[in-house]
Amino acid sequence: MRWLRKNLIPIIGILVLIYLFVPIAVVAILSFNKPEGKFNVAWNQFSLEAWQNICGVPGVCGSFVTSMQIGLIATLVGTIFGTMIAFALVRYRFRGRSTTNLLIFLPMATPEVVLGSSLLALFLNLAFPLGFWTVTIAHIMFIISFVVVTVKARLQGMDPRLEEAARDLYAGPRATFRYVTFPLVLPGILGAALLGFALSFDDYIISAFNAGTLVTFPIYIWGAAQRGIPVQVNALATLVFVIALITVVSVQVVGSRRRRKLESTVSS
């Protein structure tokens, strides 16, 4: 009883983590399933069919590639714009700071239906053709805010002594940025980019409003949900999850190692 009281919080914490991962496990397990009917919801029989023939169902891989393309373009543009804003906010004094903060915060405080429908209202009023570019524009818009918040936190959390040390060693502003600031912030930028890509790749609501007839991966899944999601979709999603998790963990390990190395150089 005493043991339970002492360890209650870790136990609940681990249970919550399990709760977070149960549906992901279900998705992965069902990728090895041979469903009985159209709907891949109950375990029937082990099969590697979906993994061996991952593009076997028409439309699955096409929509997957579309989402990849949109995700890459939107992440690239959104990360560059967002990082620039983060640097301006942390490193410069300028007028209009609170307006900037509000403009960054509001898109995150707006429900996705409102973001999606308002953009659609704009595109409809301008008679702008819906498709690949309207979805990409929308994704860049919501990625910027997330990048600003993440990179800003990283910049503010940096040990100021590192840049001081560089200046003391007669590094000019450019050299300080190139050899100290940027390498230290880079893991934060990469992390923000990964998050941005994940948000873009996975976005359904905003995309659905602005896609017209374009089919992204989530839009494909949504359509397929009514008539049965092909097992291949589970296989692809599992693959993406595993690759992303490995990438994030390695970015984190490299980042913390680099930081430790720099910090130990300074303090010794």
Partner 1 sequence: MPALAPTSGGSSGVVISGAAAQRRPRTAYLLLIPGLAWLAIFFVVPLISLFFTSLQAPTGKSGVYQPAFEVSNYLVAIQEYWPTFVKSFIYSGTATVLALIIAYPLAYFIAFRAGKWRALLLVLVVAPFFASFLLRTYAWRTILADEGFITSFLNALHLLPQGRILNTPIAVVLGLTYNFLPFMILPLYAALERIDPRLVEAAGDLYASPFTGFRKVIWPLSLPGVVAGTLLTFIPASGDYINATLLGAPSDRMVGNAIQTNFLQFRDYPIASALSFILMAIILAVVFVYIRRAGTEDLV
Q: Taking CB under 8 A as the criterion, which residues in 122-181 touch partner 1?
A: 122, 124-125, 137-138, 140-141, 144-145, 148-149, 152-153, 156-158, 160, 163-164, 173
CB 201 within 8 A of CB 217: yes
Residue 214 CB, shortest distance to partner 1, in Å, is 14
Interface stretch with partner 1, choices 51-59, 68-76, 118-126, 259-267 (CB under 8 A) = 118-126
Nearest residue (CB) to partner 1, 22 versus 65: 22
Which 2-41 positions form the footprint of partner 1 (CB under 8 A)?
A: 8-10, 12-13, 16-17, 19-24, 26-27, 30, 41
Which 71-110 positions form the footprint of partner 1 (CB under 8 A)?
A: 80-82, 84-85, 87-88, 90-95, 100-110
Residue 267 CB, shortest distance to partner 1, in Å, is 15
- Residue of 50, 119, 135, 192 interacting with partner 1 (CB under 8 A): 119
Q: Is 55 in the site for partner 1 (CB under 8 A)?
A: no
d(CA 183, CA 171): 15
Which 196-225 positions form the footprint of partner 1 (CB under 8 A)?
A: 198-199, 202, 204-205, 208-209, 217-218, 221-222, 225
Residues in binding contact with partner 1, number by CB under 8 A: 98
Residue 153 CB, shortest distance to partner 1, in Å, is 5
Residue 246 CB, shortest distance to partner 1, in Å, is 10
